[in-house]
Chain A
């Protein structure tokens, strides 16, 4: 027949829906990295090339280790989705600018291997990979991962350690404006509060980040901080001090919101954010760490399956 002579035109056959919002994993990761650029620039402004060195080394290690993992696991390489770069950058943000190279490599590699690839890659990880990497190196090499011990050639002080060891008065030497602008010692990117706020709100305004976790996290920190400062105004700083110090803002917008380790329902996200926020202040007040934020994020993520039970009744259910 004549029909067989001409090759049939091939059309795409796929399940509905045939439209898509256009948001892809690669696109989202690129936007997240873009949102971190202001903080990275600020970090270089305050700490110079050493900060750039840590960030570059961390990102490069993460990508290389993920590529290697994919090869060992005999599966298609997933480095082209930019998630490894994001993990590397977030880990670098938590480390001191003067961290030794082996610590950065160690943290970045462990973040990818133990934080992500052990669980099958993106989507399977039960905890935020960057925080896992940071927690392992911070507990294993306390001195080298501690900004107070490593960054000596600076006039910046860490308000959290001042508060922990010298009291409220010493902590008061860093004004809130200084904290906002990043003039405080800490993780190289985590302390760039204003830049991180800008990045976070950029993502929210683009619809790439849901506001529930970040706002609940910040609300949790503020509420708990307010409660403690009201209970003991002589020894405890105000809630804004807790908000602008340590890695609270980084955690609220970028660490706690790690998609696969955070809940998916609205009430779950709010409960998750509040838990992590309150836990941050609790660790700061009662714990041995001046800044408990990353640990609070890990703690809350452990309860994500429980928070996911907070889901609405389905349509038509009684």
Chain B
């Protein structure tokens, strides 16, 4: 008899036995950001070629990401904020009002940054084949819902 409960099955263990620490499990249903994650996953599934979605503050700090791409989410968040910065400056200088979106297209992919309310950004990374017009259409309702969720 070497076990602490004297060899008894655990349910027959003495009352004074110290309960074993329960491993903390990630419970998806209890995740307070579940609704946000669902929105990002929905966008990624709806538009072919989207490899990652990131929500960042306008300060460049990562809030949430749903990335499958190789880009480091924190870096993408910072780049989104930088893109937002130059775009907002342009909007101000040209008297065109608040920032809405900016699309950076490269030969093999793109980065699209949308404003989510005043303080947050949605950055979407896509591969070379992404349907940008479709992405804009699908993103519009998502932005409204994200703004209320945040």
Decide whether A and B are members of one complex: no
